[in-house]
A and B are shown apart, each in its own frame.
Chain A
Amino acid sequence: MNAVTPMKTWKTPILRLFFFALGAIPPLQNDLKNLSFIHFARWVIVRRTQFPVLSETQPREQLKYDYLIFFSNFNGTWNQYIDAFSAVLARGLNVIWRWSEKFPGSRPVTGFKRYITLVQFDTDYYYNAYPRAATNDVKAALRVHDALRDFARSSQQISPAEFDTAWRQLLVRVQPDLGSTGVAPVGT
């Protein structure tokens, strides 16, 4: 998802400060990780004078507002994603977007969805190195990989009986992480 929102220029430094704090003290980051459906997300402030100029003949932008651009790579449907944000991250989202003009707040969710629909723009080309894996799948796979590596090392020269017990221990270790990967459901 991509979204661009205008900000009055005097509000921009305040937002930067909040981002700095969020980076330094990560309660929002913990919630994002626990929600576990975003691979990568970023917020980019483009100040009104910061749009790149690459030639003399290129018209320069003359803008009143600074702009906050948001990109996210997420799993699930758009509605699920916004519902979860609104239900669980409302405070954090408000802190980020309240500086954008006409942001209605992330609760109640209907107004929030309407605003996002207004400010979002479509992607023309998207690439995902592991398209059949959700974030949960990647995390689970990494755990399984490590568990198998450990097991392979420690089970080199043991008797079948010992192997049997060790194998059961491996299963118990990896058992929550054995879901299949595949195509995710589409929204509507």
Chain B
Amino acid sequence: MSSIDVSDIQGFALKGYNFPYARYLLMELLQPEPARTFITGLLASKITTGERWDEKPLTTLNVAFTFNGLLKLELPMASLISFPLEFQQGMKARSEILYDTGRNAPQHWEAAWRENRVDMWVAVNANTPEALEDRCAEVEALANATGGARVAQSQPACAIFIDGKASPKEHFGYTDGFGNPDFQGAERGCVPGQGKLTAEGNWEALATGEFLLGYADEAGELPVAPIPHLLARNGTFMVYRKLHQNVASFRAYLNEKGATYPGGKEKLASKFVGRWRDGTPIELSPDRPQPSLVNDPDRHTNFTYADDPRGERCPLGAHIRRANPRDAFGFNGQLVNRRRIMRRGLTYGDYVPDGEPVSDTDERGVIFMALNASLFRQFEFIQQQWIEYGNDSHQGNDKDPLIANHGGHGKFVVQGTMDPLNPPFVCAGLPNFVELRGGDYFFVPSLTALQMIAAGSIDPR
């Protein structure tokens, strides 16, 4: 159980910043020397670390690199080849494995991703649009002045505002952001349900090494990491996926099926995800949303599936049950502890309230970002085995109802009871509610590693 050096770790790996505005500058690196100067400049302008804030800053700044980016920065070959295979290949090359086929296939991605032009991710988060604009302008000015990089794509993102306040909602109307894993050494207190289950049924923080390189992981060893040690330590890997949301299709489907589902449309919506749209977990409250439950951090994520083996409260194939099965596989959750990811996403595009006209072709969705020590073992596994396949949830080849690549033929079984308001119900003909527009795998270096990359001083021995 090590204490972690928060000043060396990029802040968003340790906590969500909770700023309502962001922009992701997806940059192409130019010549190695100017690129390194650019990074030096960014370091000087203060990359946000995990250090505790006395006062929330106006903006934050963080960076990450694709394998192509590290290649262009001329890291030593021995270091480069020591990076995990999936990171070296990049997300586009692994699209078959990830079921990013059909409409989600790379040929339909946005140009910058499709053409592999993204070497570096520079993320600015801000409290106001003006502060965001200013900080981004600084970054772009630095890129121009050094000649080290240029913007291949500028991706804005911002929280959905309801009644003038930033909300944690996403475009289908669900309240998002629950269930991020607790791990040892992270500053915030444990929220029951976010860690791992102990034999006695309590919740405990996961091993740091599941999310940060250089620390012991749940398997009792240091996770496989690139060399040298200083390059990897306090770093992590990130997956970035621009997930377009077909809000019109979703609302139409929910309205149609919700009209024939005896529990009603909102209840059906809750069955898809495993939470009512306000965030109430249906495992704890299957019949109605409960604001008091949602607002209580000791309760809103504090549940297991042990008492619901047949999916009568929360369907076996519901989204959150697939993405984090907790104790649903037995063995005290041990088959799940090494499959957790830390999510840091933000919505993009204009929000349209329910009932108002909306189109699938409008630009809106979620910028999904997740952090983990091993893309292969964590994110890719969840995506391939639990989202796009259902054997572990005992749902055969059925996929995640909300986000999977159904191609129009998906089916979702809502398990129920003899209660007429909670009957067994099948949703067939599922379309793609979510489409992938692009993304890649990134390495998020520590501040130390970043300095070494900028100085060109990495020695793999």
Residues of A within 8 A of B (CB): 31, 34-35, 37, 75-77, 79-80, 83-84, 86-88, 107-110, 134, 136-137, 140, 168-169, 171-172, 175-188
Contacts and interface: CB of A to CB of B under 8 A. Distances in A.
Contact of A177 (B394, B411, B416): B394
Nearest to B98: A185
Contact of B397 (A80, A83, A88, A182): A182
Given A176-B316, A176-B415, A185-B388, A110 B97 contact: no
B378 to A, nearest CB: 11
B416 A180 contact: no
B389 A34 contact: no
Interface stretch (B106-114, B136-144, B219-227, B293-301): B219-227
Interface of B: 85-86, 97, 99, 219-221, 224, 309-311, 316, 330-331, 334-335, 337-338, 376-377, 381, 384-385, 388-391, 394-398, 411, 413, 415-418, 423-424, 426
Contact of B335 (A75, A88, A136, A171): A88
A21 B338 CA distance: 32
A87 B384 contact: no
Nearest to B317: A179
Contact of B396 (A77, A110, A137): A137
B334 A83 contact: no
Given A88-B335, A169-B418, A179-B397, A107 B220 contact: yes
5 contacts: A76-B391, A171-B423, A179-B390, A188-B86, A188-B97
Contacts of A83: 338, 377
A175 B426 CA distance: 9
B97 A108 contact: no
Among A31, A107, A136, A176, residue most surrounded by chain B Cβ atoms (within 10 Å): A176
The 4 closest A-B pairs by CB, nearest first: A179-B396, A108-B221, A182-B397, A171-B424
A175 B390 CA distance: 14
B220 A136 contact: no
Given A77-B385, A176-B316, 11 more contacts: A34-B331, A35-B331, A37-B391, A80-B381, A87-B219, A87-B338, A88-B334, A108-B219, A176-B309, A182-B397, A184-B397
A134 B397 CA distance: 10
A136 B394 contact: yes
A134 B220 contact: no
Given A75-B391, A80-B381, A87-B334, A180 B396 contact: yes
Nearest to B383: A185
Contact of A136 (B310, B338, B396): B396
Given A76-B385, A109-B219, A134-B391, A186 B417 contact: no
Given A87-B335, A110-B221, A168-B423, A175 B413 contact: yes
A186 B388 CA distance: 12
Given A137-B396, A179-B397, A172 B417 contact: yes
A185 B417 contact: no
Contacts of A109: 219, 221
A176 B413 CA distance: 8
Contact of A176 (B220, B311, B376): B311
A110 B391 contact: no
